[in-house]
């Protein structure tokens, strides 16, 4: 079931996408929500504190967020649905929510727009409580490795469309001896000539309008030899060792830490750090050991909660 197949309602629906691309919709059809259903459970802040010796108060040593459990509760069918159909839909519910899978939850708003939460895993086993097989209640609960909520959209085929993307032109003169950039983002080549930002220059300026850091997807088409991409603003550098031919594309998911060359795992060829974009302006430099490499592409979804 794709987004364009869903009839929106006056409340928020929950479309589950399993890591094998199977989908399941809660909140509509045979799986209505209970009126007490509430989405968007708040994250929990965990604080590491140090007690001040000989004085009042404490010192905050560190602070992190942890996702909290999100419940989904409703009922199967209604009083007009046969007991045989209730049993069929009960089995479908159990068939979808299985162990050892990750789930993306896509929240579909009444206006048809959507946001998503990634890398969910089951913490309360699926259950359907029943005695008379009259709209029995269901329950499932997930927690999430990723604490953020992201924008979401997809095409008519159900393929995710990234809300933001940018072409990163090659700093082609880097093969002549390397680049140096100062704290103001001014880029110099090995002989001391200042470069302009953008196409043909040393850096590209990207604006991340998210409320938190985002880990983008990187695409590099060949030919490209030993490509490297750096976010000067965060000090993160991602490298790939090897040759990407003109018929190959390297796709790196910085969030899920995967790297595939024409669909083949090439994690052993990557190094440095997983690149991320901070909120606000980011200065990006793409270099390679050949001067005919086409522009790299960064794609990401904004963090909205």
Domains 3-152 and 164-300 share a fold: no
pTM, two decimals, is 0.82
Q: Which residues contact 210 (CB under 8 A, 6 or more apart)?
A: 277, 279, 302, 303, 304
Alpha carbons 285 and 168: distance in angstroms, whole number: 8
Is the Cβ–Cβ distance between 244 and 227 less than 8 Å? yes
pLDDT score for 204: 87
The pLDDT, as a whole number, for residue 285 is 92
pLDDT of residue 202: 66
Structural domain boundaries of the chain?
3-152, 164-300
pLDDT at 89: 97
The pair of structure tokens assigned to 149 is: 């909520």
What does the pLDDT read at residue 199? 40
Please provide the CATH number assigned to the domain covering 164-300.
2.60.120.860
pLDDT values of the chain reduced to their tens digit, one per residue, 305 residues? 888 889 999 999 999 999 999 999 999 999 999 999 999 999 999 999 999 888 899 999 999 999 999 999 999 999 899 999 999 999 999 999 999 999 999 999 999 999 999 999 999 999 999 999 899 999 999 999 999 999 999 998 889 999 999 999 987 544 334 445 444 545 544 444 444 444 445 688 999 999 999 999 999 999 999 999 999 999 999 999 999 999 999 999 999 899 999 999 999 999 999 999 999 999 999 999 998 999 999 999 999 98
Residues 6+ apart with CB under 8 A from 111: 8
**Domain 3-152: which topology?**
Elongation Factor Tu (Ef-tu); domain 3 (2.40.30)
């Amino acid at each position: 079931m794709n987004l364009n197949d869903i009839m929106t309602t006056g409340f928020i629906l929950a479309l589950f996408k399993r890591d094998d691309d199977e989908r399941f919709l809660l909140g509509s059809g045979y799986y209505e929500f209970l009126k007490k259903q509430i989405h968007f459970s708040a994250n929990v802040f965990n604080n590491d504190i140090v007690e001040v010796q000989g004085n009042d108060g404490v010192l905050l040593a560190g602070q992190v967020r942890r996702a909290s459990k999100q419940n989904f509760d409703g009922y199967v069918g209604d009083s007009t649905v046969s007991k045989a159909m209730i049993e069929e839909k009960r089995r479908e519910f159990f068939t979808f929510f299985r162990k050892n899978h990750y789930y993306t939850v896509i929240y579909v708003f009444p206006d048809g727009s959507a946001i998503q939460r990634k890398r969910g895993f089951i913490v309360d086993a699926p259950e359907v409580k029943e005695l008379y097989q009259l709209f029995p209640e269901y329950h499932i609960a997930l927690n999430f490795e990723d604490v953020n909520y992201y924008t979401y959209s997809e095409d008519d085929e159900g393929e995710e469309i990234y809300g933001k993307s940018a072409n990163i032109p090659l700093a082609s003169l880097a093969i002549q001896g390397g680049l140096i950039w100062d704290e103001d983002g001014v880029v110099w080549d090995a002989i001391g000539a200042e470069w302009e930002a953008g196409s043909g220059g040393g850096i590209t300026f990207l604006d991340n309008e998210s409320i938190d850091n985002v880990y983008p997807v990187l695409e590099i088409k060949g030919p490209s030899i030993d490509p490297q991409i750096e976010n000067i603003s965060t000090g993160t550098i991602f490298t790939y060792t090897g040759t990407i031919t003109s018929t190959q594309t390297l796709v790196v998911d910085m969030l899920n830490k995967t790297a595939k060359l024409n669909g083949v795992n090439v994690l052993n060829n990557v190094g440095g750090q997983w690149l991320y974009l901070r909120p606000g302006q980011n200065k990006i430099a793409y270099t390679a050991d050949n001067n005919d490499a086409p522009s790299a592409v960064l794609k990401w979804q904004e963090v909205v909660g």
